[in-house]
Each structure stands twice: as structure tokens, then as C-alpha cells.
Amino acid sequence: MTDDLMSPVLGAGTVEYEWMTWPEIAAAAAADAPVVIAVGSTEQHGPHLPVSADWVIPQALLRLAAAKRPFVVGPSLRLGYRSRPASGGGQHFPGTLSLRATTFIAMIEDLLEELIRTGFRRIVLYSWHFENTNFVYEPAYLVSGRFPSVKIVVVENAMPEFDAADLEVLFPDGFPGLALEHAAVIETSLFEYLRPATVRMDRIIDDAPARNVPWDVLPIDPSMSTASGVLASATQASVAKGELLTERIVDHIVSILDAEFDPIERTAMQLTADQRS
């Protein structure tokens, strides 16, 4: 799999907001095209993955989904809510850049209003970072109250429910749960498939917190995290697992679009493509 962000392999014919001109964006909005925003974070992902993992992965998956269903891949949100020890390693790791809840909510609220001002009436917020949960819904709820004619879909469950056969392939030794799957099999496999050159293969390790309890403790208790930042097994990741995960997650994204929006004529997307050529 190539590492080129603009490669056709990552979504031939994809329309990406950040590479469009303003007339192309205006035309897409006027054609009632959906716009999908990857809501991520900048957070440590162990010694082997870059801190950009939580926005690079969903952005790549959206590009692939956009090759199957026409929508505008919006600009990814690269900062998210505070990392927590039991699900993201915690704020004590260098490299993690987090926002307080009020700032994060205000940022999404402003973004939604700007998209609406531009003319978009169908917006999807696709959140990857575990700790963003609920803080993505709140600004969507507030903006919806002011613009009830705009449909906003909030996806805080970024991944589908995996069936027993997939779980056996992905986690033959048992599924540790999504909270502990930080920088482990899922994200490492996706990186090995989607962005292989960015993985520090010689630094992949397995790790586990000394304490795994369903609550948080402040000040931060380092025993609820790990020294590496990896919360489970990463050595069991593979390109094949990354390909399987990519297929399942892209289908999940497409299924949400199909469930919530009427079919969009491809002519809307073709218009912007023609303007670029």
C-alpha cells in the first residue's frame, strides 16, 4: 500500500476540501453533497506510531469510502480532548497535544457554523479519538438547535461490531476491548496497510498497564498506563489484518451514509472534478 496521501490508491476520484478552490467548494455545497469531517487528536501512540495516528487513520479511511459514495472529505480536526491513562496513555506523555472540553466543543461548533454558512446542509462528524466521546455530540446538538434544516450525523463509534470470525482473525488470543486497543493491533495494522513507511517496525512491542480498572484517578496514576504508551499487544499486528480492518471500517462508513442520506448524483462530484481539470 502506498504512503502517498494524494495517491489514487487512497481513493480515486475523491474530492477533498483542503485541495479544492472556493468555487469548487461552493458548487459541491450547492449540489447538496455531504461533507464528512474526521475528528481526531494529536496523541502519543507508543514508540512505533506517529502522534498523528488519530487523524491520519480516519482521513485515509474516509478517502477510501469517498471512492464508493460521493461526498466531500472535509479537513480533519487534528486536536482533540484530553488523553486519559486507561484509553490513551495519559497527559504525562511528551508529544500529546490536547484541548480542554470547552475549547474543543467551541472549535467544532464554529466549524459546523462555517460549513453551514458555506452552504452545506448534510454534515457528518466521524470521531476516531476515544476521549472525544460526548464532546462531539454537544456542539452538534447546539448548532442543530439554531439550524434545524441541517442534518448533522455524529459518529462516535468509529468502528463496526466485528463478527466472531473477524475477531478470531484479529485477536486469536482474545479481544482486550477497544479502550486497551490503543497503539495495538487495530491501529498498528491499519498503519502497516495504509501508511507502512511511517511505522517504526523495530520498535513495535507488547505492553499492558499494571492496573486496569473502570474508573479514572487524579493526579494521574502511572500504573493505569504503561511506560511505552502501548496498552495491549502491538506485535500481533499485520498488513493482512490492516486490509481486513480497512474493508470492514470503510463498509461501516458507507453504511452510515446510505442509512442517513438519499443517494447523491455523481454529477455533483463530477462538477468539481471538471473544474479542477
Cβ–Cβ < 8 Å for 139, 108: yes
The residue from 54, 181, 192, 207 that is catalytic is 54
The yes-or-no answer on residue 131 being catalytic is yes
pLDDT tens track for 150-205: 999 999 999 999 999 999 999 999 999 998 999 999 999 999 999 999 999 999 99
List the domain boundaries for the chain: 8-276
Average pLDDT over residues 75-89: 96
The residue from 16, 24, 48, 131 that is catalytic is 131
The yes-or-no answer on residue 243 being catalytic is no
The yes-or-no answer on residue 182 being catalytic is yes
- Complete DSSP assignment for 72-116: EEPPPB--EEPP-HHHH--TTSTT-BEE-HHHHHHHHHHHHHHHH
Task: Say how far apart CA 182 and CA 216 lie, in whole Å.
Answer: 17
Q: Tell me which residue of 138, 54, 58, 119 sits closest to 88, measured CA to CA.
A: 54
Task: Say how far apart CA 28 and CA 66 lie, in whole Å.
Answer: 14
The yes-or-no answer on residue 138 being catalytic is no
The residue from 16, 181, 182, 207 that is catalytic is 182
The yes-or-no answer on residue 187 being catalytic is yes
Query: What's the mean pLDDT when you consider all of the chain?
Result: 91
The residue from 24, 181, 187, 192 that is catalytic is 187
Dihedral, CA atoms, 117, 14, 123, 103, nearest 10 degrees?
-80
The residue from 16, 24, 48, 129 that is catalytic is 129
Facing residues of 77 across strands?
39
The yes-or-no answer on residue 114 being catalytic is no
Domain 8-276 falls in which CATH fold? Rossmann fold (3.40.50)
| Residues 6 or more apart in contact with residue 257 via CB below 8 angstroms | 34, 36, 65, 69, 71, 124
pLDDT tens track for 251-267: 999 999 999 998 754 44
